[in-house]
Amino acid sequence: MSDSLITFGNVSRFYGEVLGINKVSLAIPPGITSLVGPNGAGKTTLMNLMTGLIRPTQGEIRVLGVAPDDPQKLCRIVGYCAQFDAFPKGLSGRQFIYSFLRLYGYSDAECDARTAASMERVSMTGAADRPVAAYSKGMRQRIKLAQAIAHDPRVIILDEPLNGLDPMARAETIDLFQEWGKNGRHVIVSSHILHEVDRISDQVILLSQGYVVAEGQIQGVRSEVKEQPMQIVVRCDRPGDLAARLFKEGHIVEAKIAADALLLRTKDADNFYLLLNRVILDSGLIVESVAPADDDVNAVYQYLIGAEGTTV
Amino acid sequence: MSGQTLRQLAAVFQLEWKKTFRSRRGWWIYLLAAAPVGLMLLHWLIFSRPQLRLGRHSLGDDSMAYAALFQFFYLRGAIFFGCVGIFCNLFRGEMLEKTLHYYYMTPVRRELLVAGKYLAGLTVAVVVFVTSAALSFLFIGRHFGAAYSDYIWHGPGAAQLGWYMLITALACTGYGAVFLMAGLRYRNPMIPAAAVFVWENINPFLPALLQKVSVIYYLRSMLPVEVPIPPPFSVMVIDADPISPWISAPGLLAVAALLLAYTALSARQTEISYGE
């Protein structure tokens, strides 16, 4: 089982006296996992620990059963796209990928084939022979992605991979992540763009000041925040009428009425949904939609940490 | 060594030597190497004029001048600082440019990475400084015409040139190993480099035993023409036991190998966080 997981067992990492992460225990399954947290929350530390670039002060890490202090095994199954916009000087995109593939010991022909394939994956074939220094920010981001996936890793770790991408490239890149995730790879993504992370993630890990404050599927994480009332938006023809009936039955702590929508806050979502069904049937309301308004990462993050999600 | 290991070593070497040769940060190293060559060319051009050449100095004077240039400029200056510039940057430069993780995220053994980088740095240093030392030697007496050719081909010139080239290569080997280690181990390698510089330059004044804990001691013993330390410093010189070149050359290589082994062990422990 642990050969298909990335596991952290009570891992702490200190930089001198500064806390990186503290007592983190995780088991990350295949799929897209997002690391979310403000600057200094420990996202990059967590990624660097997974890649073996830094070692834990205490605790144990295994990446699909491999210890990160064994780079000869680890680096064959892990690809890492760091947040830094830095490249070895004087290389074209093709040379950049090809040169580092040679360090895997592949033959020249295999390096050529893998270079071409990875550049194709990120739509960079046309610019392959231009110097990396002449690339736009988005192209540099994509060439880093190509380099990270060129050896076909089972675990892809991406630190702020959507930074600098234009909307089209961002959509294409997200499609790639989703494809990799569906193929059973581990895709670990950190991002500040919360609504995109929210949309693509199979699970999220929320970090704050070096601690994991929540983990799991975003809806599950939201439902664990018991003390925070859940927000639900109901679009219907008579929102005022619906609000009055729901208040009469209990389970509602707050209601806000707009033109054709009702924003409700409840501490007991399960019973609320049962009640809502009954009220709708009894009253004959025409309901267009019922949707949770705050089970996204942004809202959950606000509840857990008290920070503005958009500034994360 | 397996085929895969050799391919990996070749890949590191290829990436590194190109980068080191083309490094914009290294322009001053080329200047350092080119300066004495330019000076010797000037010397040739000036003293080639018959009206200036007559009775000014002998071939022996030029040979002694070159020995002084080699001992005090090349060994204690150009090669030393050139190696600081080349070898300290092999790891530290990549840390500063935030590109070392590309290497560390490949399945290359750290020992192999150290070896590949060192060989690349050594190739650059040897090509630059051996070429410079050889050209300077060839130009310094060129104005004597046939007499200088005779000195080289039928006199001690060729052997001297060979020794100077060998000493230059060994200096690059020794200092290279020292500064590769400094670049990996220290956040600011200029501090250990300055300490080594002071140590190497006070070497003749140290007790005999301490003189042996240096690179310059072993190199000096191979010099074909010894230039004494001039007065008033000469009174402070302590004569250490002379050492045979047949011992000093392998000894220097052994010390370099030990330093490289230590660097390789350090590379295994090195973490990359770029101070974020």
Q: Which of A44, A51, A88 is opposite residue B15, by nearest beta carbon?
A: A88
pLDDT per residue rounded down to tens, chain B (276 residues)? 688 889 999 999 999 998 888 888 889 999 999 999 999 999 888 888 776 655 568 888 889 999 999 999 999 999 999 999 999 999 999 999 999 999 999 999 999 999 999 999 999 999 999 999 999 999 998 888 899 999 999 989 999 999 999 999 999 999 999 999 999 999 899 999 999 999 998 888 888 888 888 888 889 889 998 887 777 776 677 777 778 888 889 989 999 999 999 999 999 988 987 765
pLDDT value, residue B254: 92
What is the interface pTM, i.e. ipTM, of the complex? 0.83
pLDDT in tens, A237-284: 888 888 888 888 777 888 888 777 888 888 777 788 888 888 888 888
Q: Which residues of A touch B6 (CB under 8 A)?
A: none
Q: Does residue A182 or residue A269 have the better pLDDT?
A: A182
- With cut-offs at 50, 70 and 90, classify the pLDDT of residue A311: very low
Which residues have a Cβ under 8 Å from the Cβ of B144 and sit 6 or more positions away?
A: B59, B62, B151
CB A51 within 8 A of CB A80: yes
Distance between CA atoms of residues B274 and B98, nearest Å: 6
Structure tokens that stand for A242 in this block = 């619906």
pLDDT in tens, A124-165: 999 999 999 999 988 999 999 999 999 999 999 999 888 777
Say yes or no for a CB contact (<8 Å) between B107 and A100. Answer: no
Say yes or no for a CB contact (<8 Å) between B106 and A75. Answer: yes
In this structure, the strands spanning A203-208 and A254-257 are: unpaired
**Helix or strand holding residue B10 (H, E):** helix B3-22
- The string over B9-48, giving b where at least 16 C-beta atoms fall within 10 Å of a residue's C-beta and e elsewhere, is bebbbebbbbbbbebeebeebeebbbebbeebbebbeebe
Say yes or no for a CB contact (<8 Å) between A80 and B276. Answer: no
Say yes or no for a CB contact (<8 Å) between B98 and A52. Answer: no
pLDDT value, residue A91: 92
Say yes or no for a CB contact (<8 Å) between A48 and B10. Answer: no
The number of beta carbons lying within 10 Å of the beta carbon of residue B162 is 12
Q: Which of B23, B110, B272 is opposite residue A53, by nearest beta carbon?
A: B272
Tokens 């890490």 correspond to what residue?
A: A61
**Residue B25 touches chain A, beta carbons under 8 Å:** no
Report the amino acid identity of residue A58. Answer: Q
**Residue B4 touches chain A, beta carbons under 8 Å:** yes
The mean per-residue pLDDT over the stretch A78-99 comes to 94
CA distances from B124 to A17, A294, B128, B252 (A): 41, 61, 6, 19
Q: Which residues of B touch A54 (CB under 8 A)?
A: 271-273
- With cut-offs at 50, 70 and 90, classify the pLDDT of residue A118: very high
Say yes or no for a CB contact (<8 Å) between B19 and A88. Answer: yes
Classified as helix, coil or strand, A66 is strand
For B153, half-sphere exposure in the C-beta direction (CA atoms, 13 angstrom radius) is 6
Q: Which residues of B touch A102 (CB under 8 A)?
A: 7-8, 10-11, 14
Q: Which residues of A touch B111 (CB under 8 A)?
A: none
pLDDT value, residue A295: 64
Say yes or no for a CB contact (<8 Å) between A53 and B104. Answer: yes
Say yes or no for a CB contact (<8 Å) between B107 and A99. Answer: no
A102: distance to nearest CA of chain B, Å? 6
Task: Give CA angle at A30 (A27, A33), nearest 5°.
Answer: 75
Distance between CA atoms of residues B179 and B167, nearest Å: 18
pLDDT in tens, A197-231: 777 888 989 888 899 988 888 777 666 665 667 78
Which residues have a Cβ under 8 Å from the Cβ of A28 and sit 6 or more positions away?
A: A5, A6, A7, A186, A188, A203, A205
pLDDT value, residue B275: 64
Q: Which residues of B touch A82 (CB under 8 A)?
A: 98, 101
Classified as helix, coil or strand, B261 is helix
Mean pLDDT (chain A, rounded): 86
pLDDT in tens, A16-62: 888 899 999 999 999 999 998 878 889 999 999 999 999 999 999 99
CB A141 within 8 A of CB A67: no
Distance between CA atoms of residues A208 and A205, nearest Å: 10
pTM above 0.90? no
B241: distance to nearest CA of chain A, Å? 47
